[in-house]
Amino acid sequence: MYKYDPFLLFISRYRLTMKLLVVLVSLITLCTGSAIPTVPGDNSHYVEGESRYIWMPDGEGVPHLVDLEAPVSDIAAAARNGANNQYWLYTRNNPTNPQVIVHGNANTIWSSNYVANRPLKVIVHGWNSNGNSALNPLIRDAYLAVQDANVIVVDWSNHANGLYTAAYLAVPSVGQFLGNFITWLIDTAGGNWNNVHFIGFSLGAHIVGNAGRQAGGRPARVTGLDPAGPLWGGNSNALNSQAGQYVEAIHTDGGLLGIFDQIADSDFYPNGGRNPQPGCWISTCSHSRAYQLFAATVQFNHLAGRLCNSIQQAQNVQCSGSTLNMGNGIVTKRGIGIYGLATSNNWPY
C-alpha cells in the first residue's frame, strides 16, 4: 500500500516550482530583448531602451542582426568624422551619372552642372548603405521628374557600413561636415538657403539634423524619414526643430527602428506610425516605407494628414483636424503639429 511521504511531496513541488521559475525567467529574458532573436526581420521581441539586439535593414532592405551594445574599437572611434563624405550632384543634364563635388575644390563646381538659382535637394542615406542604395535613386528621380533642381546625394558609407554603434557615433561629425560643405558650396558658387531642402532617412535623419544646426538653422526645410530610434531616445544629437526653418518627420516604424515621439515642427504618422505598415510582412519593411512614401509625395503631392490632438489619436488614425500634405518637394511648405493619415499598400500609396 502506498504510503504518503511529506518530504517527497515537498521535493516534487520544489522541482516543479523551479521549472516554472526557469520558464518565467526565460520569458522575461526574451521580453527584455537580451536573448538573440533568430527570425530575420522579426522585431516582435524588441523593447525600446531595454533590448540589446534588433534586426535592421541595409540599403536594399535586407535585415541584419544588430548588437546595440557592440564595442567600438579605439581606431574606429578616432576615425569617426565626416571628412570622407562624398557629394554626388545630379541634375536634369546628368540625371543618372553623378558629378562629384569635392569640398574645398571650387573647380569641381565650375566643371559640374550646378546652377545657383535652382532649388537644392540634399539626400542622406542610413546605416549599412551608400550613395547607390535604393532610397537615393528613388527620391532623386522623383525630384527630377517634377523640378529642375540640383540634387546632391551624400555618400557617407565609409562610416555607415559596419557596426551600427560605430555609425551611430559618427552621425554628429558627418552632419557637421555636411553643413559646412553646403555653406561652402553656396558661398563659393551661389545659391539661396531659402531654396535648400535636406532629406535624411533613419540615421541620415539625424545627420541632416546636425547639418542644419551646423548651418545655423538656415535650410528652408529639413525632412527626417523615420528617424532612427535605437540609441536615440533623449539624445541631444537627434533631429529636432532647430535644424531648419521648417522641420518635418515622417514616422513609419515608431518604437522599433524609428523614433515614435514628436520631434519636429510637423510630425506625420501614416497608418499609425508603427509596424506593420500596409503590405509589410516583416518589421524592417515598415522602416523603409518612410522614404517610399516621401518619394511618392514628391512626385504626386497626394497624401494629406489630418491634425491630431495627441499622438494616441494619430496612432489610432482617428484625427479629424485641419489638413496638411505630408512630404512633397515644396520648399516653402510650413506647418506645425501632429498629423495622422491612412495610405494604401503599394505605390504611389
Rounded to the nearest 10 degrees, how much is the dihedral formed by the CA atoms of 128, 129, 134, 136? Answer: 150
**Could you confirm whether 202 is annotated as catalytic?**
yes
The DSSP bridge partners found for residue 307 are 339
| Gap between the Cα atoms of 277 and 57, Å rounded | 15
The strand pair at 221-225 and 247-250 is best described as parallel
DSSP secondary structure code for residue 213 in this structure: H
| Gap between the Cα atoms of 34 and 160, Å rounded | 25
The residue from 64, 141, 261, 302 that is catalytic is 302
Cis peptide before 348 (omega within 30 of 0): yes
**Could you confirm whether 64 is annotated as catalytic?**
no
The DSSP bridge partners found for residue 222 are 198, 247
| Gap between the Cα atoms of 167 and 128, Å rounded | 9
The residue from 129, 157, 202, 283 that is catalytic is 202
The residue from 226, 253, 265, 267 that is catalytic is 226
Q: Is 39:282 a contact under the CB 8 Å cutoff?
A: no
Residues noted as catalytic: 202, 226, 302
